[in-house]
Amino acid sequence: MRSSASQGRLPGVPATLEEARQRAEHLRRAIEYHNYRYYVLDDPELSDAAYDALINELRALEDAFPELRTPDSPTQRVGAPPLDRFEKVHHEVPMLSLGNAFHADEVRRWYRRVCRLANREALDLVVEPKIDGLAVTLLYEGGRLVRGATRGDGLTGEDVTPNVRTVKQIPLVIPVPAPEQRRVEWMPPFPAVTEPPPRLEVRGEVYMRKSDFEALNRRQAERGERTFANPRNAAAGSLRQLDSRITARRPLSFFAYGVGIVEGVNVTTHWELLGYLGALGFPINPDARLCTSLDEALVYAEAWLKRRHELDYEADGVVFKVNDLGMYEQLGATGREPRWAIAYKAPPSEAVTVLEDIVVNVGRTGQVVPTAVLRPVEVGGVVVSHATLHNADYIQERDLRIGDHVIVRRAGDVIPQVVRPLLELRTGAERPWQMPNRCPSCGEPLVQPEGEVAYYCTNVACPAQLIRRVEHFASRNAMDIEGFGSKLAARFVKLGLLKDPADLYFLTKEQILGVEGFAEKSAENLLRAIEESKGRGLARLLTALGIRYVGSTVAELLARHYASLDEIMGASLEELEAIEGIGPRTAASFVEWFSRPQNRQMVEKLRRAGVRFERVGPADEEDHTPLAGLTFVLTGTLPTMTREEAKALIQEHGGRVVSSVSRKTDYVVAGERAGSKLRRAQELGIPVISEDDLRHMVITRGR
């Protein structure tokens, strides 16, 4: 990689500031042009020595005239001093996540539905590789990069401007290269751009090439430092360094694929937009294709997926996008997924390994969930050592035994799950497994409520439950206590500093300093984060309490009907059930939770601490629930859940369950012996998903 470290002969420094300014501007344009040739086109015109001479001359000018040194100067790509923490960035145009399709038939159903909504018989599509990296957004004003941010939850991200400035493929000033530069063959045609748009937000993926990743890991190992698991983790970790000088030493790359804020740009198709971004100097993936029919798009996608492992970057599928930008507003979105695009994921990656043990973990509601302990195996580029087993019935139905050779799959290249045992490899030494009778954390008997497959520990003093409750209370979707995650929750509970989540507000600086890993500054930061969380408002507080079936959506619904927690605590079962969107089971769970003396005592502790019990707005915070705004219909017999359990899962994560299929339905969850609802969904082109797909959506969309 070009180092810009060698010393070339420097010309004389101009005598006046104006002469120096003109020369510096000329040098910057030339350097950006040659950066583009080198990093984007892989077609350099200058030798490294000649390039270094330009850099050294510019650096000398900036040393002689410090007022010329600007953040967008090519000399500043070395990084800046460390930050205390990242600032939050609100995305004016949300960064939507994509719906997934795992089979061609699902893509066809999506296409038919989009054509129907667009009132078109056919639509042109653009197919682009789905790069496995970190989504970022780059804001340019007057052609200069002023902000770089991560996607975050789609509505709020993190300001990583100093870090994105170090990525050589990201232009600091647009347009580049020089206007006379001829476009390369694979780039969508667009005339040279000579003037920057007033405001432009470019969106794309920061990633790490496989070859760069391997070289980085070799260097890390030689220095005795931690190596990375895969290119995506390496890219994400590099871009989220508080010290951007570390980011500058990491070999990051970038592909642009879309825009957010747009001013002064007149393009009508996505293909034209890619050409425009390329003309500005942004790297565009050379495997993007414009297709005039769905069949053409599927043929190209299938061929590309077969060769994706030959490429020098990780990709877990392709993205189909409607080419006509004018259709985007008409098609709209469902929840946080645009209707005008869908990700066609690669087939699930599978591997064979040994099921070495089955352990149970206790959640915040007391539910005991079995987890597979696997002999570590690489699946789709990630080493997997644990996988969910859902519940005891799941294990028994598949006759899974400790010691079995099992097939492990990463559904959609994300969630590891045990599919089935390989019976032909059994030796007779395998051992059947049974759900324990007692809680592994507190030793109290486990109970299985009538009609449910799950087992529960009902001991409210169970340490494992307390750790999960504290972790949930402090989580982003609840009270959002920055920096207080699962490890700290476990540490503070085990030290006896927290008997319930409300104790967080009574921690002292001296107590925190007594916890391993805390110093003066970090203790003050935690206390400040705890204090800031007091004002989150009613909806966040209701979510944080961890009442069963009361997720963010139900909490916000209650916050719209009641002005304070005291009003809700005084509501009767009948009043709660009368609220549209709150079913009998949710209302009963709510009333039962507040009937427990220990829960009432915790609420009073929160009051004494000064936690805000009133709502702070129509909806206290943006909705971060993964299924928010989506409508589901359940049909058939699901593998591991009853209809009521599936409904509760959907509602807890923000979705809505209705009884009949209509054009307003977003997904149909189908099991065995599905009947007329399934046929109706297929007629309307509504996506049909399995129970596993539903769990996948809850996990991946909630990250």
> Could you say which of 130, 168, 605, 647 is catalytic?
130
DSSP 551-593: -HHHHHHHHHH-SBHHHHHT--HHHHHTSTT--HHHHHHHHHH
Rounded CA separation 5/52 (Å): 7
Q: What is the dihedral of CA 508, 509, 512, 513, to 10 degrees?
A: -150
88 noted as active-site residue: no
User: Two tokens at 541?
Assistant: 């507080």
Report which of 308, 267, 300, 259 is spatially closest to residue 127, judged by C-alpha positions: 300
Bond before 71 cis per omega within 30 degrees? no
Helix (H, G, I), strand (E, B) or coil at 128: strand
Give the count of beta carbons closer than 10 Å to the beta carbon of residue 509. 13
Q: Which run of H or of E encompasses 126?
A: strand 125-131
User: 38 near 127, Cβ under 8 Å?
Assistant: no
Helix (H, G, I), strand (E, B) or coil at 457: strand
For the sheet with 688-689, list strands across it.
656-658, 631-635, 667-670, 688-689
The sign one gets for the Cα dihedral 418, 421, 427, 428 is positive
User: Two tokens at 109?
Assistant: 């159903």
The sign one gets for the Cα dihedral 659, 663, 665, 671 is positive
Rounded CA separation 204/199 (Å): 17
Antiparallel, parallel or unpaired: β 631-635 and 667-670: parallel
Report which of 469, 488, 457 is spatially closest to residue 545, judged by C-alpha positions: 469
Distance of CA 152 to the CA centre of its chain: 6
Bond before 177 cis per omega within 30 degrees? yes
Return the active site residues: 130
